[in-house]
Structure 1
Amino acid sequence: MKYCASVLLCFALSFSVRAEDFSSCFVPGEISGYKVSWMGIPLAWSKSTTDTTNENGRELIRIRMVTQTYAAYSHIYKVDDITEVLIDPKTALPVRLDIILNEGSRKKSNETHFDHENRTAVYIDRLADTTNTVEIAADTREVMSFLYSMRQTDIADLTANVHTLFVDGKLHKMGVGFLKEKKAKLPTYGKVECSVLEPVAEFDALFLREGKIFFWVSKADRRMVTLVQAKVAVGKINVKLQKVSGPGDDFWVKEKEQE
């Protein structure tokens, strides 16, 4: 069950920023909930929330993801994760990233401050008590900021290039392959048209070296990650979208209101 908590929304890709405004990718008040299952057993839940915050007179988007094991299964593999990132809504570039992961015996606690103007990121590892400055590109993103920026990115653009992603204080390369179009069967929403993608990375995370992983991304508005399927040494893990709530009048909110 290694990395089962962070697999949910970590679609690990990055791409070059275009001359466009990404504000429409973010919906303050949006809440998305997922269920994490292993071999058909529901082991954990995950929830992502989006709101706005003001820092030094600058209005930013705050995305917070919390993942926890259901109490009944905490003896199998306990997960208690919090990831929070502040993002510039116009560029979809991260400003600050804070991660606290507790997954079994594996723990992380780090903070990253991004300075895209000067092309540096300061990575603070609280457990190791170290601080490192890393050179980045003007368009470097981490996982969460990419996840939302991809809502207005064409699938062909994602699969055409090798991308760069900031993970655990380092820059990593990643490619992504388009496999097929298929319908994901979701609670609340029924069958949803999706593009099935397979990321391939150079770093040891997200099952990418331990097994196969597939992301199902909806073709409907907001381009939600509807399903994550991972094949690992100890079985299969599914992460499935349960519901989306908050403001809006698109497919996700309308379908929920019809319940």
Structure 2
Amino acid sequence: MKIPTGIARGVVALIAWTCAMIVPAYAETNTMWFPVGEKLTYRLYWGIVPVGTAWIGSSWIREEGKPDRISITMRGKTGRIVSALYPVEDFVESIVDAKTFLPIRYTQRLREGKKKRDDVVEFDHAAGKAHWSSESDGKSKDIDIEAETRDVLSFVYYMRSRGIDVGKTEKFQVIVDEDLYELSVTGLGHEKVYMSAFGDVRCLKLEPKAKFGEVFVRQGRLNMWFSADDRKICAKADAEVPLASVKAILRKVEGPGNDLWIKKSK
């Protein structure tokens, strides 16, 4: 069994996605539209076979004399048995300005099979530029960006402050690796999603697409389901790829708050 390269970057990174029509109140923790300190744990499946785990979380970066920043991280790792065949161990971090929520620095360290990739993107929104560099081979590249251009991880958290109506498609601009892509997101409708830890949850189904499909699924189709409540949490992601499907299903929610997500995770 071989898991396609990019699963952790694509499906795993995007399970953080949340499209919020109602901004939740976490005033006791922060003034953001999501609870900084939240940690989400997902189980990853290749067809019906569990193959790994993903963790997505956020934390404050506060230093005297500097603006507050937020670190958003994603880690994805295959389990022991799968790792013997095709090990995946990825780490992605986006550091954003807490006031503007624009990315400052994006780092990814990917270990997928025999392939390794280490990239850094530095954003200069005032100049309309982003600088990509590879720590693996020393290559670098300057990229022209728009005012709202983001890396994929900060983008999915940015989406928690807005919503997409059913039947409507919106377009955005994201940087993935060293390239700039136009991303479209379509609201498909509401469905119930069953999770063993949380039962049936009413969710909004979304379909993200990018030019030629390179951003999220290199071949195939990606659908995502987000809870239709105040937290607007991603319950499930399902990527149809050649020969099988790859799924990410929410297993645990930790961090600030005391809603049913937190209570049922204990």
Calculate the TM-score normalised by the size of structure 2: 0.86
**Dislocated runs of 4+, deviation >4 Å:** none
Summarize the Cα distance change of 1:12–1:67 in structure 2 as closer, same or farther, 3 Å threshold.
closer
After TM superposition, the structure 1 = structure 2 runs for residues 148-227 of structure 1, keeping only pairs within 5 Å, are 148-156=157-165, 159-203=168-212, 204-207=214-217, 209-227=218-236
SS at match of 1:252: helix
* Residue matched to 1:95: 104
Query: Counterpart of 1:220 in structure 2: which amino acid?
Result: D
Which residue of structure 2 aligns with residue 140 of structure 1? 149
In structure 2, what is the Cα distance between the partners aligned to 1:90 and 1:96? Answer: 15
- Kept in 1, the 8 Å contact 2:39–2:255? The answer is yes
Cα drift, residue 157 of structure 1: 9.3
1:66 to 58, 71, 75: 75
From 230, 238, 244, the counterpart of 1:229: 238
Shift of 1:158: 9.9
By how many angstroms is 1:23 displaced?
4.3
Contact 1:123 1:134 in 2 (8 A): yes
Aligned equivalents of 1:158, 1:68: Cα separation in 2: 35
> Contact 1:159 / 1:175 at 8 angstroms: preserved in 2?
no
CA contact (8 A) 2:40 2:250 kept: yes
1:12-69 CA-partner distances (Å, limit 9, x unpaired) = 99xxxxxxxx942342321110011012111110111211113561211111111111
* C-alpha distance after superposition, 1:230-250 (max 9, x if no partner): 111121111111111011133
Match of 1:4 in 2: 7
Q: Which amino acid aligns with 1:46?
A: A
Identity %: 30
Cα distance in structure 1, aligned partners of 2:192 and 2:230: 15
- Whether the 8 Å CA contact 1:26–1:50 is kept in 2: the answer is no
Distance 2:15 2:167 in 1: 11
Q: Contact conserved, 2:164 with 2:170, CA < 8 A, in 1? A: no
Relative to structure 1, is the Cα distance of residues 222 and 158 closer, same or farther in structure 2, using a 3 angstrom cutoff? farther
1:12–1:249 distance in 2 versus 1, CA, 3 Å: closer
Check conservation: 2:166, 2:189, Cα contact below 8 A: no
Report if the CA contact (8 A) 1:25-1:222 is conserved.
no
Q: Is the 8 A contact 2:15 2:248 kept in 1?
A: no
The residue matched to 1:29 in structure 2 has which SS? coil
Q: How many residues align?
A: 249
